[in-house]
Amino acid sequence: MTLNVGPQHPGSGHMRIIVQIDGDHIVACDPDPGYVHRGEEKMAEYRNYITNIPHLERPVIHDSCNILYPYVLGVEELLGIETPERAKYVRVIASELNRCIYTMYWLAIYGIFLGHSTMFMWPAGDRELLIDLMEKMTGARVTHAHFVPGGVRNDLPPNFEDVCLRQVNYFEKRIKEYADIFYDNPILISRTRDTGVLSRQDAIRLGTTGSVLRASGVDYDVRKKEPYDVYDELDVNTNVMKEGDSYARSRVPWLDMMESCNIIRSALEKMPSSGSVRVKLKPNPKGGHDTVYKRVESGRGSLGCYIVSDGKPEPYRVKMSVGSFRNLIALPYLLKGEKLGNMPAVYWSLNYWPVEADR
Amino acid sequence: MKTATGIIRALNSGIKHLAVKRFTLRYPEEKLEFVGDGYQFDPSTGVGIAGLKGRHMLFHDHCTGCQLCSIACEGVAEAIGMVKVPEEQKQNKKSIMPQIDYGKCVFCGLCVDACPFYALYMTNDYELSSFSKEGLIYTPAQLAVKPYVRQDSSIQITERGATHG
Ligand code: SF4
Ligand code: SF4
C-alpha cells in the first residue's frame, strides 16, 4: 500500500514522504521535498551584496546567523575586506547562540514527535533565555540580519557580557536536567535505540553531515577542521557517538549545545573589550571577476555558499549547499524495513529542516 | 529493574518542577524590557547602536528627501514610498518624506543604515496590528510620533529558577 505522509501533516514539516508499506513494515520510501521552494538563490542575483542579507537568512529563521555566515565570509573575500577582531568574536557568540536556539526548537519538535509533551514545553520555554540575549544583541528575536560583510551591524549593548554569562550558565544547567526526563528515560531509549541505523561507511558514502555524521562515528566538524573567524583560538570539542541509530542522532545535538555554552564562555573571556565592530563600506560595493566558496558549521551540519561575481554590484550566482538536503538523502536507506511507527523517530533525528532544503 | 528506576527518575524530575517558579511571560499584562530606545545608526562611524528593531521614527527637521532609504528598501521589501508632505522644511526642497507600509516591512533596519542625515531611527514599538491593510501604512506625520512603550519585565535568575519579573 502507498501512504502519503504530508505535505500538510504538521509532523512532516512542509514535505511529503511517500512510503510503501507491507502491513506494518516500510518496504520503500521516497522523500519528496520542494513544497517551500522560494527561489532564494535566484532572487540573490537581482539584489546587491547588502540587500541580499535579509532574504538569504529566511530559509532557517531560527538559525539565521549561521545561514548568513558563509555568504558574509565569501563576500568579505570577494571585496577584500578585513574584519575587525572584536566583530569576529561577536559573530562567533551570535552564531553559537543561534545554534542552540535552533537545536532547542528541533528538540522540542522531536519530543512531540515521540509523544513526550514535556519535552516540547521545556525546550520551547528555555529557548527564551537565548532569544532574549539575541534580542538584546541584534534587536530582533528571529531573522536578525545582524552579520554584514565587514563585521556586524551594531556593537554589543552595555553590560551584555554579564547578562550573557548569567543566562548561558543557567541555560546549561537547564539542559543538563533533560538527561533524567528524556535522554536517560527508558521509554525514549526503547523507542529510538537501534532504529534507523546508519553505519559509518554509509554515512560517508551518502555524504551526510553534521550531527548525523558525528552520530555514526565520524569526527568531522567544520569549526575544527577548517576554522573560520576566531574558531582556531577557541577550543572546540566535538561529540562523537558510534551507534549511528536514532538515539545517537538525537543525543549528539544535545551534547553539542553544552559545547556551544563552553565556546560562548571562552569567547566572552577572550573578546577584546573595545574596538570597532564594522568596517565602513562604500555604497553598492562591487566584486571583481572571481568565485569564492566558504563553509561553516550550522546547526544541521556543514553549510557552504558559492558566490560568483562578474564585477557588478549584484552577484552573478549564489549557491547554497545546505546540511538538511544532504542528510535527507539518507532517509530512504534508514526507513527500509523499519516499522511505520518508528518513522517519526527516524525522520526527525536526521536534523532536517524542510525550508532550508528547498531554499 | 533498571527500567523501573529510570521511569521513576524521569517522573521525579518532572515532579520537582512543581516547586519551580513560573517562567512564562504573561503578555500583555507584562511586557518585556529592551536595552535602548530602538536600533539607531551613526553614519559618521558606520556602526549601529543596539536596540529593538521596531516601528520607525522619522525626524522631520533632519529629513532631506534624498530617497536613500527608499532605494535601500527596494531590494528588501519595497515598503517605503516617498510622499509629499504639506509642511515646508528648509533642508527638504522637494517636500517629500518616506511613508512606510508595515504590511511589507521585515524590520531589517537597512533603511536606517542608509540614511546619512540622522533622520530615520527605529523604536521599541512592536504592537502594530491593524484591522485593515491601510491601517498599516504609516504616513510621515504618524512616523514622527515618539511611541510610548511600557516595559516592566525582564528575566530574573534566582536559586529557584528563572522568572520574568
Ligand atoms: S526595515 Fe527593512 S523592510 Fe522595513 S522599511 Fe526599512 S529597509 Fe524596508
Ligand atoms: S529619511 Fe533619511 S534617507 Fe530617507 S529621505 Fe529622509 S534623509 Fe533621505
Tens of pLDDT, residues A203-219: 888 888 888 888 888 88
Spell A95-134 as b/e; 16+ CB within 10 A means b.
bbbbbbbbbbbbbbbbbbbbebebbbebbbbbbbbbbbbb
B68 lines ligand 1 (CB under 6 A): no
Q: What is the signed CA dihedral for B75, B78, B84, B88, rounded to 10 degrees?
A: -50
Cβ <8 Å between A277 and B76: no
| Grid cell locating A64 | 539565521
Tens of pLDDT, residues A231-241: 888 888 888 88
Predicted pLDDT at A306:
92
Provide the residue range defining the domain that includes A303: 39-326+342-347
SS3 A63: helix
A295 φ, ψ to 5°? -140, 155
Q: How confident is the model at residue A195 (pLDDT cuts 50, 70, 90)?
A: confident
What is the residue-level pLDDT of chain B in tens, covering all 165 positions?
Answer: 778 887 888 788 788 888 788 888 888 888 888 888 888 888 888 888 888 888 898 888 888 888 888 888 888 888 898 888 888 778 877 888 889 998 889 888 888 988 888 888 898 888 888 898 888 898 888 888 888 888 888 888 877 778 777
Round the CA-based radius of gyration of chain A to a whole number and report it.
Answer: 20
| Inter-residue contact A69 to A299 (CB < 8 Å) | no
Mean predicted confidence (pLDDT) in A322-343: 85
Contact list, A139 vs chain B (CB under 8 Å): 38-39, 50-53, 109, 122
Predicted pLDDT at A9:
66
Q: Is A180 on the interface with B (CB under 8 A)?
A: yes
In a domain, A188, yes or no: yes
Cβ <8 Å between B76 and A128: no
In a domain, A28, yes or no: no
Query: Residue B89 CA: which ligand is closest?
Result: 2
Q: Which stretches of chain B sit within 8 Å of chain A by CB?
A: 2-3, 6-7, 9-10, 12-14, 23-25, 32, 34-36, 38-39, 45-53, 72, 74-77, 106-110, 113-114, 122, 155, 157, 162
Best of B7, B35, B112 to substitute, by most chain A Cβ atoms within 10 angstroms, is B35
Which of A51, A153, A283 is facing B75, going by the closest CB pair?
A51
Cβ <8 Å between A139 and B122: yes
B128 lines ligand 1 (CB under 6 A): no
Cross-strand pairs, B84: B96
| Inter-residue contact A298 to A210 (CB < 8 Å) | yes
In a domain, A108, yes or no: yes
Which of A125, A132, A185 is facing B6, going by the closest CB pair?
A185
Which domains are assigned to chain B?
Answer: 32-149 (3.30.70.3270)
Predicted pLDDT at A101:
92
Count of domains observed in chain A: 1
pLDDT at A12 over 70: no
Pocket lined around ligand 2, Cβ cut-off 6 Å: B 63-69, 98, 114-115, 117, 119-120
ipTM for the predicted complex: 0.86
Q: Is A48 on the interface with B (CB under 8 A)?
A: yes
In a domain, A19, yes or no: no
Instruction: Read off the CATH number of the domain in which A289 is found.
Output: 1.10.645.10
Q: How far apart are CA B9 and CA A2, in angstroms?
A: 41
Cβ <8 Å between A154 and B47: yes
Tens of pLDDT, residues A127-170: 888 998 898 888 888 888 888 888 888 888 888 888 888 888 88
Mean predicted confidence (pLDDT) in A263-291: 84
Cβ <8 Å between A47 and B75: yes
In a domain, A97, yes or no: yes
Q: Across chain A, what does the average pLDDT equal?
A: 86
Best CA proximity match to A100, nearest among A183, A160, A172, A153: A172
Mean predicted confidence (pLDDT) in A314-332: 87
Alpha carbon of A167: minimum distance to chain B alpha carbons (Å): 8
Best CA proximity match to B121, nearest among B72, B53, B75: B53
Best CA proximity match to A85, nearest among A222, A232, A303, A258: A232
Give the position of cell 536534523: A351
Predicted pLDDT at A293:
92
| Grid cell locating A157 | 549593548
| Inter-residue contact B139 to B99 (CB < 8 Å) | yes
Q: What is the signed CA dihedral for A236, A54, B49, A73, rounded to 10 degrees?
A: 40
In a domain, A18, yes or no: no
Tens of pLDDT, residues A35-83: 888 888 888 888 888 888 888 888 888 888 888 899 999 888 888 888 8
pTM across the whole model: 0.90
Predicted pLDDT at A111:
87
B8 lines ligand 1 (CB under 6 A): no
Predicted pLDDT at A199:
87
Cβ <8 Å between B106 and A143: yes
Q: Which of B66, B84, B110 to mutate to test the pocket of ligand 2 (most atoms within 8 A of CB)?
A: B66
In a domain, A24, yes or no: no
Predicted pLDDT at A233:
85
Contact list, B113 vs chain A (CB under 8 Å): 153
In a domain, A142, yes or no: yes
